[in-house]
Structures are given as structure tokens and as C-alpha cells.
Chain A
Amino acid sequence: MAKSIDVSDLNIYYGDFLAVEGVNMTIRAKAVTAFIGPSGCGKSTFLRTLNRMHEVIPGARVEGKVVVSGQSLYDSSVDPVAVRRQIGMVFQRPNPFPTMSIYDNVIAGSKLNSKRLKKADADAIVEKSLRGANLWTEVKDRLSKPGMGLSGGQQQRLCIARAIAVEPDVLLMDEPCSALDPISTAAIEDLIQELKSEYTIVIVTHNMQQAARVSDDTGFFNLKATGEPGHLVEFNPTTKMFTNPDEESTEAYISGRFG
């Protein structure tokens, strides 16, 4: 199920502006990979190229290769919609569909694609996904209530349930805890640890403790200077990164000497 991702010489552009330059890395299957770095260094932009969400923005394009299990994502024959079905995404701000109930939000992936689901199958998917997102016990009695009625942390877990309901191979998370309180954050970090057994997880975070807690590998992105493109400074196992990084600037960033 879970897939590894190979990125080679990836340049990411917004129009003519080169935002991220020359990224090479291998994201392991069934592991958590975290990206850290100062704001505006291109972590989120890079994350969005992994499921072709980057090109949703007008003028945005990439050069280079992203290979998932032998298939290059940016081949002209590849349908971006199909890519996104296999590589799910959770956003910084919880964004449940406001017109839908909790139940409908979870099966939105199937429902919006007009897949016919038997009631029993749909129920099973909803329960499995909500259990997977640690939300089932909190909402099982009010599945027909609007998803927007939940608290922020619950909404974010609902979005995770929605993302795993389509059974993707990879789950991308763009600062999933930055809008949440510590308790909801802990719930989501626990969840990430559980999901790791089945999914490849890539997470962008501003919280270095969080990266240290949840991830197996860490990538540090930085800008050479303002206006210059962002680049990947260092990519290493998290334990090495936080104890004995290869680069001087990584250590400076992690130990809080800048940024």
C-alpha cells in the first residue's frame, strides 16, 4: 500500500519566480517525514508539488522529477486528479465542507465522485475512518450534524478522517496543528504515530519539538537570502538531525540561534 517518493532536481516556480530550487530527497514508505524551516522557505510549496496541488495556483509550474513507486508524477500522461486520489492532503486550517454533515464530510471523497456506495459499506467506511482519526467516540451520536459545528481540533481530525477515507497511499499534512491547542495537537500527533503503520506521511511543521517527536526523517529548508529561492539544506534521520546535524545552519536553526 504505502509508497516511497523519490524527488530529483525539482525546481518549483510561481510564474517566472523560482520559489524552490534543486530539491533531491527520498521519502521512505511507512515512515513520517517532517519538513522544518523558516516561513517562506518553500516547505509548503514543496509539499504541494508531491500531489500536484501546486499547479492549482495559476501560473505555477515545476521542473524536475517526482517519482512515486516507479511512476513519474509529472509525466504528461498522468492525470492530476488520479494522483490526488492516491496522495491525500490535510491543510493548515481545518476546512470541512460547510454544506455537509459529519457523515457526508467523511465520505465526501466517494460521494463527490458519484461513486455508488451501499449504505452498509458507507457506514463501515465512516466508522473506520473516524476511528482511524480518533474522532469516532466523540461524534458517533451526531453524525448527521453539520461538520462546522465541531471544535477546531475536532474539525481537523474530521479532515484527516476525510483524507484517509479515500484510502490514499501517502498522506501530506501542511502544518496540521498550527491552529490547534496543545491537547488537540497531542491527539493528532498520536494519530500520526498510528497512521504510520499504514501510510507514508509527510508533515510540514513550524514546531521543532513536534518534528522531533513524530518524525523519522527530517528535511530542513532555508533561504540563502530574501528574494532568493528556497532550497533543501539537509535531509537526514531525525535523531541525527537533532543531535549531530551535518550543516552549521541546521544546528543554528534548531538550537534557536536564528529564525
Chain B
Amino acid sequence: MTTTPIEPELTGIAAGLAAPRLPRIAVILTAVLALAVSGLLALLLGWGIIALLVVAVILFDIGLPVWSRIVEGARYAADRLTTCLVYTSFLVVLVPLVWLIGLVLKNGLSAISVEFLTYSMRGVVGEGGGIYHALMGTLLVTLATAIISVPIGIFAAIYLVEYGKGNRLARTTTFLVDVMTGIPSIVAGLFALSLFVIIFGPAIRIGFAGSVALSLLMIPTVVRSTEEMLRLVPSDLREASYALGISKWRTIVKVVLPTAVGGIVTGVVLAISRVIGETAPLLVVAGATDSVNMNLFSGRMMTLPVYIFQQYSQPGIVPHDGGDPPGYARAWGAALVLIVLVMLLNLIARIIGKIFAPKTDRRR
């Protein structure tokens, strides 16, 4: 550490305000240096590119704060260190995400074709076939799940926020909802299976049972997110409405819900994207099939996650000229379609959230 020269009294203030700073180029310089040192080590020790980058980032995260400590002092050094850590964490989070999307795109894109999207697997041996039956199954099962869960979830949240206000029933409900959030999906599947077996007899496999199982997973998420959104609506608005002589129910329907609708829709769509990728419960209660089945209430129903699982676990025969069995490509293709589906849902949620957001702009 450098020693601060003792300033005379009169110039003390000016000296205290103007402290030495690192030049702007310092960040780039440190990065180049870190890369160079790490590259040199990589050449000497024969590392791969990933090890090189990791070491470079670590060197940068140590180097810049140390340099800053020497020139700028402790406070700036802490600032630099925190900035470095924040950016590094951001990169670390981003890596698996980009990697995953890149990998699915690389392996799945070649499988996508008109045939892949419009054909089922009925009678397909070897190459060919598609995901049409699974795509329709996923859409139908998820739609039915949403139809069951959204009203129950939203009404439960309305009760908790507007009517329950911390009474015994509301507290119990909140506790049970929290417990339900943590239910393993396979347990939900087994519950739905035993429920339907009691009603319809053994060996029952229908799409609707899958919807019931997924509803168990979706309702708590919807309740939670809707509850948060309703609590955000200021009580001023409720009082304004009451003061106009408007009943409680109408206040909820026409003032509270419209004010919160953007957030509620976003929460619902995020809940849907959480359940759309569930595999285990559907494998247990909806079964698997190679044919298109548009009837939720009769017969087995294929869904995308189960399709991916099935194609990967039973990929078919390895072709004569070597290479991968045909199921692998189909599994990657279906995974890509599933990811695109979830992304589309998120996009729709954002658009809806934007449309319904309370209008507060001051532009004329």
C-alpha cells in the first residue's frame, strides 16, 4: 500500500476529494494480461480452451481489485471486486443456459421437418415418423390442466387475500399450498392413478388423469403467484371503490383483478410452462402410445416429455452404415419443439402482461 502524504490543513479538503483513479483502459489491460498469462500457462501445461478461460476469469477477478487496492484505496477495490463477482456470477449462470439451447438446436434442428411435425409414430419402424400425436397430447393435457387449475387457483388466492385475512382456514390453506408446492411430481402421478383406479377400475390410462396429476402441481403455483399479485394492489383502490358504494365482490372483479391481471396472467403462464415439461406423472397415468388420440377421456395419450423419454430409452436399431439409432434424433427434435413451446408461452405472457399493465404513462 502506498503511504498518503500528509497534506497541510488548507489543502486538505481538495486533496481528500481528488483521489488517484485507475485509467479507463485498466479494465481492458487487466483482461488482456489475464488472458495472456492464462494462455501461456495453457501452452506450457497443455490445457483446453475451457480451462484457459476459467483461469483467465479468475486471474482477472483477482488482478483488477488488487491493482485498484494499490492505486485507488480500499473502498474502490471493494467496489471493483464486487463488480467483478457480479459479472462473473452472471456469466456462470448464462453458460449452462446458452449451452443447453445451443446443444438442443444443434442436435434437434436437423430432425425438424414437415413430416416430423405432422406424422405420428403409428406403424413406424426405423427412420421417419413424427411427434404429431405427442404434440397434440401435450397441448390437450396442458389445456385441460389449465382449465382445472386456473379457476381453482385464482379463487383460492382471492379467498386468501380478500376474505380470509389470516383466519384459521386461510392459514391452513396457505400451509397446505406451501406443502403442495413441494410435492414430487411422481407422487402426484401416483395419487391421480390411484384415484382413477378407484373410480374406473385397474389398468386405466387416460389423458385426463394426466391433467388431474398436473393440476396438483400447478394449483399451488397459481395460488402463490396470484396471491402475491393481489397483495400488491393498493388498499387505497379498494377503499376508493367501496366509497363509491360498490359491493365487495364487484370491487374484486372490476377493480382488484383488472389491476393485477398482468401479473396474474404471467404467473399462470409460468405455471403452465412448469408443468408442460413434467414426465413422470404422465408416464404413470397417461401412458404412452404411437397413435394420435384426441380424446382426453379414453385411451392412452402421448405427450412430448414422455415421447422424448421413450425415444431415448428405446431408440430403435442402429443403422447398417453405423451412426445413431433413429430415436435419438427424434428425441432431440421433440426436445427442441418443447423448448420452443415454452418460449412461445413466455412470450405470450410478456405480451399479455404488457397489454394489461396499468396505464401510468404521462405522455399525452
Query: A residues within 8 Å of B by Cβ?
Result: 51, 53, 56, 58, 81-86, 88-89, 91, 93, 95-99, 108-109, 111-114, 142, 145-146, 148-149, 159, 162-163, 166
Q: How far is the CB of A46 from chain B (nearest CB, A)?
A: 16
Contact B245 A82 (CB under 8 A): yes
User: Can you add 19 more A-B contacts, CB < 8 Å, to A82-B245, A97-B237, A149-B363?
Assistant: A56-B242, A81-B242, A84-B243, A84-B244, A85-B245, A89-B239, A91-B243, A95-B240, A97-B255, A99-B258, A99-B356, A108-B244, A109-B244, A112-B244, A112-B250, A142-B364, A159-B240, A163-B244, A166-B244
Q: How far is the CB of B178 from chain A (nearest CB, A)?
A: 23
Known A-B contacts A84-B242, A99-B358, A166-B244; the reply to A93 vs B250 at CB < 8 A is no
Residues of A within 8 A of B363 (CB): 149
Known A-B contacts A95-B240, A97-B237; the reply to A149 vs B360 at CB < 8 A is yes
Question: How distant is the Cα of A150 from the Cα of B245 in the complex, in angstroms?
Answer: 24
Count of B residues near A, CB < 8 Å? 28
Closest to A149 in B: B362
Question: How distant is the Cα of A60 from the Cα of B360 in the complex, in angstroms?
Answer: 33
Residues of A within 8 A of B258 (CB): 99
- The answer to whether B320 has its CB under 8 Å from any CB of chain A is no
- The answer to whether B181 has its CB under 8 Å from any CB of chain A is no
Question: How distant is the Cα of A97 from the Cα of B251 in the complex, in angstroms?
Answer: 11
Residues of A within 8 A of B244 (CB): 84-85, 88, 108-109, 112, 162-163, 166
Known A-B contacts A145-B364, A148-B360; the reply to A112 vs B241 at CB < 8 A is yes
Known A-B contacts A91-B240, A95-B236, A112-B254; the reply to A86 vs B259 at CB < 8 A is no
Known A-B contacts A145-B364, A148-B359, A159-B240; the reply to A84 vs B255 at CB < 8 A is no
Closest to B236 in A: A95
Residues of A within 8 A of B364 (CB): 142, 145, 149
Most buried by B among A88, A98, A142: A98
Question: How distant is the Cα of A193 from the Cα of B251 in the complex, in angstroms?
Answer: 31
Contact B243 A51 (CB under 8 A): yes
Most buried by A among B243, B251, B259: B243
Most buried by B among A88, A149, A162: A149
Contact A109 B240 (CB under 8 A): no
Residues of B within 8 A of A51 (CB): 243
Q: How far is the CB of B229 from chain A (nearest CB, A)?
A: 14
Contact B237 A98 (CB under 8 A): yes
| Residue in contact with A163 in the complex, picked from B243, B254, B360, CB distance below 8 Å | B243
Known A-B contacts A86-B245, A145-B364, A149-B362; the reply to A53 vs B239 at CB < 8 A is yes
Contact A146 B361 (CB under 8 A): yes
Known A-B contacts A95-B237, A99-B259; the reply to A146 vs B360 at CB < 8 A is yes
Contact A81 B247 (CB under 8 A): yes
Q: List 6 A-B contacts (CB under 8 A).
A: A58-B165, A81-B245, A91-B243, A108-B244, A149-B363, A149-B364
